[in-house]
Structure 1
Amino acid sequence: MKAVVLDTDDQFHLADLPEPVPGPGEVAIAVAYAGIQYGDVLVRGGHFPIPRPFVPGFEAAGRIIAVGDGVDPGRVGQEVTALTSGGAYAEVVLASDVLTFEAAGLDPRTAAGFGWITPTAYDLVNTVGRVRSGESVLIHAAAGGVGSLAVQFAKAAGAGTTVGVVGNAGQTGYAAGFGFDRVLVSEEFPDALDDRRFDVILDPIGGPARLANLERLAPHGRLAVYGNIATFEPVQVSANDLLMDGKSLLTYNSNLLSQTHPERLADSARHALRLVADGQVRIDITAEYEAADLDTAVQRLADGAAHGKSVLRIA
């Protein structure tokens, strides 16, 4: 089969590889489209200790063509979307049966775009941030895949005011189209907010922005941390200071959750998928790439030049 391989030179290469065979609890999927995500940036940059050569790709949409032991053989032929630990940038990928979801009725591009971002956004709003009716929400990286979905989930949960923060002025109009009441450019944060405080803040940025977010939490507010786009340098936080105002700093790691409690992630994914299928939440596919152009796609993501969701066409 054809596959994209990330080699020791930090470059993506097209290669011919043997077609994988599903093991116990796995399904084999003939991939139509694969989602491109920030994990590709991190893997290429060496932030995860994954032996190379490695077939990346963590989000697949296609059709189940075989199943391993312990999996219902009736799944063969299903149109699905799957969260994988790698391998989606290939004509056939293996995925856990638990994290492979029937996607009948969704076009394959949308199914690929569902990926990790949709259950992540759902969990950040509903499980980690626990957004309640009328609460105010601030969302960083508002023009990105998670940010554009998170505001929709927040509105569905009854949030009051929602404010987004984007990387540059060219992204403000795009983010506003998902329902934000106000959108700021990162250079305006936090000064443009005056004394405004928020009940829930979603932070994939890190560094000085993380400290500014803590300052902007209302009493009993929740800061949900799920990445470090700006810097991996640690941020020191005083638990005593948090305690005085009842503030909470919470983290979310969907990859870890998939390993420790995959059924929890699967439950959130199914809830999110229903909202997408019903048209209550929109996944915006803004770019489609061929396999030979994957490096360009990943670099645009690394540079902050992408918005919405990008996908790779396989079949």
Structure 2
Amino acid sequence: MKAVILDTDDQYRVTELDEPTPGPGEVAIRVAYAGVQWGDTMVRAGHFPVPRPFVPGFEASGHITAVGEGVDASRVGRPVTALVTGGAHAEVVVAPSVLTLDTDGIPLRSAAGVGWSTPTAYDLIHTATRVRPGESVLIHAAAGGVGTLAAQFAASAGATRIVGVVGNAARADYAAQFGYHQLLLREEFPAKLGNELFDVILDPVGGPTRSTNLAQLAAHGRLAAYGNLSTFDPVLADANDLLMQGKSLVTYNSNLLGQTHPERLADSVRRALDLVAEGQVRVDITAEFDLADLATAVQQLADGTTLGRSIIRIA
């Protein structure tokens, strides 16, 4: 089969590999489309220790071609979307059966864009912070894959004020279509908010921004940390100060959840897919690349020029 490998010299190369075979609890998928996501930039930069050469790709859509021991054989032929720990940028990928879900009428092209960002956004709103009707939500990286979905999930949860923070005017223009009531440029945060406080803040940035976010929480507010886009330096928070104001600092790690409690992650994927199928939430795919152009897709994402989701067309 054709596959892309990330080699020891940090270069992507299309090569021929043997097709993988599903083991117990696994399925093999003939890949139609594969997503490009932030994890691809992290692996290329060496932040995730993986053996090289490595077949990248963490999300795929296609049809099940074979099942391993313990998996219902009737699933063969089903159109699915899957979350994996690598290998999706290839003609065939092996995926955990529990994290391989029927697309339920969603086209495979759209299903590839669901990926990890959709259940992450769903869980940030519905599980980690439990947004309630009438609450206010502040979302950093508001134009990103998680941010644009989180705004939609927040609206569906009943949030009455949704504010986003973005890096530049072009990203603000793009994010505006996803239900934000106000968008701020990064340099305008938090000064332009005045004295406004928020019930929920979603923070993939880290560093000084995380400390500022704690100060922007209303009483009983929840700050969800789910990434470190700016720095991996530690952020200190005084538990006694949080207690006195009823504030909470929570974290969310979808990759870890997929390893420890994959059934929980699968349930969130299923619920998110239902909202996508019903048209309540939109996954915006704005760029489609050939397998040989994966390097370009990843670089554009790393550079911040990608707006919406990028996918790789494989079959």
**Into which bin does the TM-score normalised by the smaller protein fall?**
over 0.9
Gaps of 5+ in 2: none
Matching of residues 233-248 of structure 1 within 5 Å: 233-248=233-248
SS in 2 for 1:222: strand
For the residues of structure 1 that align with 2:307 and 2:217, how far apart are their CA atoms?
27
Per the TM alignment, residue 104 of structure 1 is displaced from its structure 2 partner at its CA by 3.5
Residue equivalent to 2:105:
105
Q: Is the 8 A contact 2:59 2:82 kept in 1?
A: yes
Describe the superposition over 1:70-112 as per-residue Cα deviations: whole angstroms up to 9, x where unpaired. Answer: 0000000000000011100000000000000001311112100
2:278 equivalent to 1:287 = no
For the residues of structure 2 that align with 1:193 and 1:104, how far apart are their CA atoms?
42
Per the TM alignment, residue 30 of structure 1 is displaced from its structure 2 partner at its CA by 0.3
Gaps of 5+ in 1: none
Q: Is the 8 A contact 1:78 1:104 kept in 2?
A: no
Residue equivalent to 1:193:
193
For the residues of structure 1 that align with 2:145 and 2:125, how far apart are their CA atoms?
14
Q: Which amino acid aligns with 2:108?
A: P
For the residues of structure 2 that align with 1:72 and 1:139, how far apart are their CA atoms?
40
Residue equivalent to 1:223:
223
Residue equivalent to 1:60:
60
For the residues of structure 1 that align with 2:295 and 2:158, how far apart are their CA atoms?
39
SS in 2 for 1:98: helix
Query: Larger deviation: 56-65 or 302-311?
Result: 302-311
Residue equivalent to 2:116:
116
Query: Larger deviation: 120-129 or 233-242?
Result: 233-242
Per the TM alignment, residue 296 of structure 1 is displaced from its structure 2 partner at its CA by 1.4
Query: Larger deviation: 91-100 or 169-178?
Result: 169-178
Q: Is the 8 A contact 1:35 1:312 kept in 2?
A: yes
For the residues of structure 2 that align with 1:118 and 1:23, how far apart are their CA atoms?
27
- How many residues are paired up? 315
Per the TM alignment, residue 45 of structure 1 is displaced from its structure 2 partner at its CA by 0.8
What TM-score do the two structures reach when normalised by structure 1? 0.99
Describe the superposition over 1:211-236 as per-residue Cα deviations: whole angstroms up to 9, x where unpaired. Answer: 11111000110000111111111111
For the residues of structure 2 that align with 1:156 and 1:191, how far apart are their CA atoms?
28
For the residues of structure 2 that align with 1:307 and 1:135, how far apart are their CA atoms?
27
Per the TM alignment, residue 292 of structure 1 is displaced from its structure 2 partner at its CA by 1.6
Q: Is the 8 A contact 1:61 1:109 kept in 2?
A: yes
For the residues of structure 2 that align with 1:17 and 1:309, how far apart are their CA atoms?
27
Residue equivalent to 1:156:
156
Q: Is the 8 A contact 1:135 1:160 kept in 2?
A: yes
Matching of residues 165-314 of structure 1 within 5 Å: 165-314=165-314
Per the TM alignment, residue 173 of structure 1 is displaced from its structure 2 partner at its CA by 1.6
Matching of residues 33-72 of structure 1 within 5 Å: 33-72=33-72
For the residues of structure 2 that align with 1:196 and 1:287, how far apart are their CA atoms?
36
Q: Is the 8 A contact 2:204 2:229 kept in 1?
A: yes
Residue equivalent to 2:96:
96
Residue equivalent to 2:146:
146
Query: Larger deviation: 80-89 or 298-307?
Result: 298-307
Residue equivalent to 2:17:
17
Q: Is the 8 A contact 2:104 2:277 kept in 1?
A: no
For the residues of structure 1 that align with 2:171 and 2:45, how far apart are their CA atoms?
25
Over 6 Å off, 4+ runs: none
For the residues of structure 1 that align with 2:206 and 2:286, how far apart are their CA atoms?
26
Describe the superposition over 1:39-75 as per-residue Cα deviations: whole angstroms up to 9, x where unpaired. Answer: 0011111111111111010000000000000000000
What TM-score do the two structures reach when normalised by structure 2? 0.99
CA RMSD of aligned residues (A): 0.7
Describe the superposition over 1:288-313 as per-residue Cα deviations: whole angstroms up to 9, x where unpaired. Answer: 11112111111111121112111011
Q: Which amino acid aligns with 2:59?
A: E
SS in 1 for 2:178: coil
Describe the superposition over 1:9-42 as per-residue Cα deviations: whole angstroms up to 9, x where unpaired. Answer: 1111111000000000000000000010000011
For the residues of structure 2 that align with 1:307 and 1:35, how far apart are their CA atoms?
14
For the residues of structure 2 that align with 1:208 and 1:289, how far apart are their CA atoms?
36
Matched residues, percent identical?
Answer: 68
For the residues of structure 1 that align with 2:2 and 2:130, how far apart are their CA atoms?
43
SS in 2 for 1:177: helix
Residue equivalent to 2:27:
27
SS in 2 for 1:53: coil
